[in-house]
Chain A
Amino acid sequence: MESTGGKTPHREPRRAPFTRLRGQSVRPSRCGEFEAFRPPAPCLARVERGDRRHPDTAFPRVPGCDPETSFVPWRAVSELLAEPFLATLPCSTASCVPTMVRNVLASVLLGGALVAGLHAQTATANPQHPAKSVESVRPLKSVKEDAARLDAVLDRGLQRRSQTALPLTDDATFLRRAYLTIVGRIPTLAETETFLADQNPDKRDVLCDQLLDSPGHTSHFANFWFDQLRVKSRIQDISGEPFADYLRSSIQQDKPYDQLVHEMLVATGPGHQQGNGATGMLLRDKNMPHDAMANALRLFLGTRLECAQCHNHPFDIWTQKQFFEMAAFFGGLRYRDESTLPNLVGLRTELAGLDDRTRQRALNLVRRNNQGLEGSGSGVERLPRDYKYEDLKPGTAVLANTLFGADVKLKYPEQKKGEPQRPRRDQRPQPGAAGIDSRGALADWMTSKKNPQFAKVIANRMWARTFGAGVVEPLDDFKKDTEPVHPELMVQIEKLMVDLDFDLRQFERVLVHTKLFQRESPAGDADADAVFTFQGPMLRRMTAEQTWDSLLTLVFADIDERLRPPDARAQQVYQQFAEFANADAKDLIALAQNDQPMRAQQQQQRQREEMRQQVAADAELEKKAAPLRRQLNQARRNGDQKQVAAIAEELQRLGVPLGQRAARGREGDLLRASDLQQPAPPNHLLRQFGQSTRETVDGASTVATVPQVMTLLNGFLDQRVLEGQSALRASLDTAQNGERRVRIAFLTTLNREPTATETQEWRRAIAIDGDAVVKDLVWVLCNSNEFRFVR
């Protein structure tokens, strides 16, 4: 027994039983480990391995504290873990915590520690897990206060219109809504049963915070940004994966929204370089800086200026000149990054001696890899040649000027009085010269808390995302005379966004802790303004991504564990760029020569074609192959992988060559939407259900179409969920009886218990027709409107 000082009565060591954790004794790693957590006190004795020493010094001791009475007779992990917490208890001679309380405290803390430990394990295992917990950033108490304030505003609004708020909804509806809204998928069977059985009166609050802290939140939020920013995995020569990586990482790290926008507006450098993903926003509109400006204004300031690109805006107050004054902030923007060119000194001479093809390929490599952004903004732009208004001549250079809010003063170089500086044709920034940095000025102006639109627009978008309709609609078309139906609410959420310093996850947290988020959703289409007074969250169809992710939840109970690192898809791009960036002229030529020529592919194709013709010529073989081929096509059409594989094998045995399509997967990877190619390929379920093509800002749709219905009727469900290995099938197969099966089906798909009638009907049917009816039940549930609509 050791002590670092303080006067403690020495006690005879007393034998005490150890509680062993998995047969091992536990001990602090070094003496006095817990010193840091409490005021100076005798240090703790080290517990020797296997030594059943009296651990009386393992507890915080204060003068006069009697170790006999305050000693907890068993030692367990909990005690060691409890130590720091116990140490924070106000200790005075008279208030030693009695034994029983310590026991209870220790058990609670053990439970908490184990859960935290598991959670931490999951957290470290899952690469899209948010970096901080929401509670650690802001206590729930403050969140509830903000939420209550919003509820009060809503109540006042309803009163003014003599409307009543809808009552709070039942647990099952709330559970499903919370999962879909916060993490973008329905809950699993286990998650559903746990929540419904939980008796804690605060369970809804606890659930919301848990979901906000889960990796599912990162994935769901990523889809939001991918949609708004029109993220595509490939835009001609440019890979969009670095941009997607940047967005996923930013979400995971809770990057404040104003910082995110600022970074995207000022980013420069090579687009494919690791760490430079922010260039993706402006590279999306490569060579079209005017469209980039129009899209930025629409997205971040809710102002539709595209019309003013060609003429004075017909419906709003903006003029064409004003558009070009905004466009001037992107003046001189170049879409080529030439920072790696110095490595390639002497390339031209090296290339001169080579054949045309290699030369072309080498130049293509250079062109592909020096995509990027250059230029901090000249602040000048020329009016177009067909400018037809009287105020200025076509082709005049205009200086950057903001549309509203604060003015921006840029420092232009010396010029003759009254003459705006002409942008030079070849505007390379002079080394060492201070740039005009109009992009930086634009970013500062746009993301300022004082900008009248910036906070308003994002607060409105977040509100729409959570409750199904914005406080102001449309979300991106605030005109001069736009009057919100509920102005007080608009003011409140704008203020909240600013007060939270643009932390979007905390903002969402406030919204999901309101009473409004718990209310029933309205029964029918709302009349006119009733929508905007928010009696309850709106009924809406799941987005394409929510649909896909929810269907995947039926296949994998651990779908969120399958989320990949944010940069998984971008790694190859980063690697290729790094190779290129480190290459000198000779290396580059070597890289160019290794490129796979297309002719080899064409040759393969031709060979296959020849073989097919040979087979066709052989009449006997053809007679056998024809019906098989027909069946193969049928199976492929229905996405029946097993059948396709079986027939393909058969054909191969006959010696019939198969095309490349023979065994190609239909849905591709079974990953959550945010981890897939952006957007998904054209025949993918995601696209059928309305995922945006990512060509325009509002490209997603939730409208019913025949192809998506047919997929549900005949495709995905039967192939992936009902046959083969799916989590749902596994839980159905292990159920004891028909009634349990019915319950499992309802709880997994609709996340509620079946009604008595429903149970009765389906049980009867199962008793008569057996297992097939169980599959029918799941089919019916997944095809129902209750499945696809979020209440």
Chain B
Amino acid sequence: MTLPDLIAGTDIQGRRTFLTRMASSLLGVGAAAAFGPEAVARALAQDPAPPLVLGRATAKNVIYLFLRGGMSHLDTLDPKPGKETQGPVEALRTRADGVLLGQYFPKVAEQMDKVCIVSSMSSKQGAHPQAQYLMRTSYELRGTIQHPSLGAWCQRLAGRNNKMLPGHVLIGGGAEMPSAGFFPPDFQALPIGSAEDGLQNATLPRGVDNERFERRLARLKQLDSAFAEKHGQRSVQAYSKAYTEAVRLMRSSDLVAFDIELEPKSMQQAYGETPFGAGCLLARRLVEHGVRYVEVMSDGWDTHADNFDRLGDLTPAIDQGLAALLADLDARGLLRETLVVLATEFGRTPDIDQDQGRNHYPKAFSCLLAGGGVRGGQRYGSTDAEGREVATEPVSIQDFNATIAHAVGLPLDYVITSPSGRPFKVADKGSPITSIFS
């Protein structure tokens, strides 16, 4: 393997680190002397990382719906009718033969022909932060490094579909979870606190019209060029670039993607006028305008007590939102190239405790995939009769993430090194479930 090949396999940061270390060990000189950061950067500038999407990609976009807290899977996606572990929940027949859902998802049951349930998820992480982190990044939580999330990997390897809009949007919270990790801050997801509020500070303030804004920008440019004459550092130039991009975003016709108020009332009602429903609607709009990876968060699923009552409160929003999303994407012909994921960090215990609650249960739980080339109307993998153990086709969290990456066409063995020199891949050691794709 030649040196260029070796270097080509790492990202800019990694290459820089690699070369500086090589220099210091081979030449015995201060690294900065021979391969100072600037010199290396100049050398590498001719070789930016190209989009690395493989030909077999089936999904251009991903809508990732995350239920934080650990949704009880036996009551929703993997019911066990007639067994004691089912509790008071009924099972529903769905549009797919042989696939049952819990009583809480009647609308999703109607859309079952588009959905593949992965019932044999299994992990060893039973605590929220660790499990959420693993779900998000495919790596274990460490206090010493932040790994990039799957969305950041998608952006990094596959680039943006629409250059005007950000490539990764995070709706409804979760900004404390890792996003760009050790990737450069450009790969940070754009956080949207609430879908109803939309994108902050994207429109001109009250009292400032376009003409006045133009005048402001012109004067700003003057002042900045005077400064740039004295200080030409790259960090200064980066700001000019960011201003150009921000103004372009403000002016782009795609900005309307962030405003769900522009949807007809009937559409808003179809998704449900809840934060989650609005989030799904916003996700659809963003995907329509070419945003590659959109995440919608939902909180409150940690039902240690009153599991069934709480599910009764929480699930209608999900049921309605997810069903509307699937139907809507299908109607617009987007479902084929949009992978919809419904995931949670672990499931809940088959045994119901005295508080009418269920505890954390990572040993066997369920997640859901739809669209993006995934064959609908099926259940992949299974748990035993009472839902205690995985019976067939165990799927680790890394495998699940590898499946998503596989759908988007990301190379699973592509290594990116962190600034500290550690090698990472998009889904660590996971292998994708290829049989669910049609």
Which A690-733 residues have C-beta < 8 A from chain B? 690, 693, 695-697, 699, 701-711, 713-715, 718-719
Which B205-244 residues have C-beta < 8 A from chain A? 205-208, 212, 215-216, 219-220, 223-224, 227-228, 230-236, 238-243
> What residues of A have a CB within 8 angstroms of the CB of B191 in the complex?
682-683, 707
Q: Does B223 contact A786, Cβ atoms closer than 8 Å?
A: yes
A27 to B94, CA, bound (A): 96
Name the distance in Å between A578's Cβ and chain B's nearest Cβ. 29
Closest residue of chain B to A683 (Cβ to Cβ) is B193
A414 in the interface (beta carbon within 8 A): no
B-contact 0/1 string along A463-489, CB 8 Å cutoff? 000000000010001000101110000
Q: Does A527 contact B144, Cβ atoms closer than 8 Å?
A: no
Closest residue of chain A to B41 (Cβ to Cβ) is A525
A-contact 0/1 string along B244-278, CB 8 Å cutoff? 01110110000000000100010001000100000
> What residues of B have a CB within 8 angstroms of the CB of A291 in the complex?
142-144
Which A568-627 residues have C-beta < 8 A from chain B? 599, 602, 606, 612, 616, 626
Q: Does A529 contact B33, Cβ atoms closer than 8 Å?
A: yes
Closest residue of chain A to B220 (Cβ to Cβ) is A780
Q: Does B200 contact A715, Cβ atoms closer than 8 Å?
A: yes
A458 to B249, CA, bound (A): 43
A661 in the interface (beta carbon within 8 A): yes
Q: Does A315 contact B421, Cβ atoms closer than 8 Å?
A: yes
B97 in the interface (beta carbon within 8 A): no
Closest residue of chain B to A708 (Cβ to Cβ) is B242
Q: Does A357 contact B32, Cβ atoms closer than 8 Å?
A: no
> What residues of B have a CB within 8 angstroms of the CB of A357 in the complex?
305, 355
Q: Does B38 contact A525, Cβ atoms closer than 8 Å?
A: yes
Name the distance in Å between B85's Cβ and chain A's nearest Cβ. 20
B434 in the interface (beta carbon within 8 A): no
A444 in the interface (beta carbon within 8 A): no
- Contact A707 to B144, CB < 8 A, known contacts A483-B30, A529-B32: no
Q: Which stretch, A71-79, A397-405, A502-510, A628-636, touches the partner chain B?
A: A628-636
Tell me which of A640, A780, A784 contacts B206 (CB under 8 A).
A640
Q: Does B421 contact A633, Cβ atoms closer than 8 Å?
A: no
Which A302-352 residues have C-beta < 8 A from chain B? 304, 306-307, 314-315
> What residues of A have a CB within 8 angstroms of the CB of B219 in the complex?
776-777, 780
Q: Does B220 contact A784, Cβ atoms closer than 8 Å?
A: yes
Q: Does A307 contact B422, Cβ atoms closer than 8 Å?
A: yes
A519 in the interface (beta carbon within 8 A): no
A777 to B223, CA, bound (A): 11
Tell me which of B36, B239, B273 contacts A704 (CB under 8 A).
B239
Q: Which stretch, B62-70, B100-108, B180-188, B335-343, touches the partner chain A?
A: B180-188
A396 in the interface (beta carbon within 8 A): no
B313 in the interface (beta carbon within 8 A): yes
A285 to B261, CA, bound (A): 44
Q: Does A682 contact B313, Cβ atoms closer than 8 Å?
A: no
Closest residue of chain A to B141 (Cβ to Cβ) is A288
Q: Does A706 contact B33, Cβ atoms closer than 8 Å?
A: no
A477 to B419, CA, bound (A): 11
> What residues of B have a CB within 8 angstroms of the CB of A788 in the complex?
239
Q: Does A715 contact B205, Cβ atoms closer than 8 Å?
A: yes
A528 to B32, CA, bound (A): 5
Q: Does B188 contact A705, Cβ atoms closer than 8 Å?
A: yes
Name the distance in Å between B256's Cβ and chain A's nearest Cβ. 13
Closest residue of chain A to B313 (Cβ to Cβ) is A602
> What residues of B have a CB within 8 angstroms of the CB of A708 in the complex?
242
Q: Does A633 contact B202, Cβ atoms closer than 8 Å?
A: no
> What residues of A have a CB within 8 angstroms of the CB of B247 in the complex?
713
A639 in the interface (beta carbon within 8 A): yes
A709 to B306, CA, bound (A): 46
B6 in the interface (beta carbon within 8 A): no
Name the distance in Å between A373's Cβ and chain B's nearest Cβ. 16
Name the distance in Å between B416's Cβ and chain A's nearest Cβ. 16
Q: What number of B residues sit within 8 Å (CB to CB) of A?
A: 80
B145 in the interface (beta carbon within 8 A): yes
Closest residue of chain A to B273 (Cβ to Cβ) is A612
B420 in the interface (beta carbon within 8 A): yes
Name the distance in Å between A243's Cβ and chain B's nearest Cβ. 15
Tell me which of B32, B196, B227, B242 contacts A485 (CB under 8 A).
B32
Tell me which of A682, A779, A789 contacts B175 (CB under 8 A).
A682
Q: Does A696 contact B146, Cβ atoms closer than 8 Å?
A: yes
Q: Does A703 contact B184, Cβ atoms closer than 8 Å?
A: yes
> What residues of B have a CB within 8 angstroms of the CB of A635 in the complex?
206
> What residues of B have a CB within 8 angstroms of the CB of A556 in the complex?
none
> What residues of A have a CB within 8 angstroms of the CB of B178 in the complex?
695
Name the distance in Å between B295's Cβ and chain A's nearest Cβ. 13
> What residues of B have a CB within 8 angstroms of the CB of A294 in the complex?
143-144
> What residues of B have a CB within 8 angstroms of the CB of A292 in the complex?
143
- Contact A693 to B176, CB < 8 A, known contacts A524-B232, A637-B197, A638-B201: yes
A288 to B133, CA, bound (A): 16
> What residues of A have a CB within 8 angstroms of the CB of B206 in the complex?
635, 638, 640, 643, 718
- Contact A776 to B200, CB < 8 A, known contacts A315-B421, A528-B32: no
B199 in the interface (beta carbon within 8 A): yes
A172 in the interface (beta carbon within 8 A): no
> What residues of B have a CB within 8 angstroms of the CB of A164 in the complex?
none
> What residues of B have a CB within 8 angstroms of the CB of A477 in the complex?
420
Tell me which of A527, A711, A779 contacts B200 (CB under 8 A).
A711
Closest residue of chain B to A290 (Cβ to Cβ) is B143
> What residues of B have a CB within 8 angstroms of the CB of A663 in the complex?
none
Tell me which of A528, A539, A703, A711 contacts B201 (CB under 8 A).
A711
Q: Does B223 contact A304, Cβ atoms closer than 8 Å?
A: no
Q: Does B200 contact A639, Cβ atoms closer than 8 Å?
A: yes
Closest residue of chain A to B225 (Cβ to Cβ) is A785
A243 to B50, CA, bound (A): 45
B203 in the interface (beta carbon within 8 A): yes
Name the distance in Å between B354's Cβ and chain A's nearest Cβ. 6
B54 in the interface (beta carbon within 8 A): no
Q: Does B21 contact A637, Cβ atoms closer than 8 Å?
A: no
- Contact A705 to B185, CB < 8 A, known contacts A527-B36, A637-B203, A785-B236: yes
A104 in the interface (beta carbon within 8 A): no
- Contact A705 to B242, CB < 8 A, known contacts A682-B193, A714-B203, A784-B220: yes
> What residues of A have a CB within 8 angstroms of the CB of B321 in the complex?
none
Q: Does A710 contact B145, Cβ atoms closer than 8 Å?
A: no
Tell me which of A643, A704, A707, A789 contacts B231 (CB under 8 A).
A789
Name the distance in Å between A241's Cβ and chain B's nearest Cβ. 17
A783 in the interface (beta carbon within 8 A): yes
Closest residue of chain A to B248 (Cβ to Cβ) is A706
B198 in the interface (beta carbon within 8 A): yes
> What residues of A have a CB within 8 angstroms of the CB of B239 in the complex?
704, 709, 785, 788
> What residues of A have a CB within 8 angstroms of the CB of B313 in the complex?
602, 606
> What residues of B have a CB within 8 angstroms of the CB of A439 in the complex?
none
A683 to B231, CA, bound (A): 31
B161 in the interface (beta carbon within 8 A): no
Q: Does A485 contact B30, Cβ atoms closer than 8 Å?
A: yes
Q: Does B242 contact A306, Cβ atoms closer than 8 Å?
A: no
Name the distance in Å between A55's Cβ and chain B's nearest Cβ. 61
Q: What are 18 contact pairs spanning A and B, CB under 8 A?
A: A357-B355, A481-B24, A528-B39, A529-B32, A531-B32, A612-B273, A638-B205, A661-B194, A682-B176, A683-B193, A683-B200, A697-B144, A703-B238, A709-B246, A710-B246, A718-B206, A780-B220, A784-B227
If A696-B145, A710-B249 are given as contacts, then 5 extra A-B residue pairs at C-beta distance below 8 Å, sorted by A number, are A304-B420, A696-B143, A705-B186, A713-B243, A714-B250
Q: What are the nearest 6 A-B pairs in CB distance?
A: A528-B36, A682-B175, A291-B143, A704-B242, A718-B205, A715-B201
Q: Which A residues contact B (CB, under 8 angstroms)?
A: 236, 284-285, 288, 291-292, 294-295, 298, 304, 306-307, 314-315, 356-357, 360, 473, 477, 481, 483-485, 521, 523-529, 531-532, 539-541, 599, 602, 606, 612, 616, 626, 629-630, 633-640, 643, 661, 682-683, 687, 690, 693, 695-697, 699, 701-711, 713-715, 718-719, 772, 776-777, 779-781, 783-786, 788-789, 791
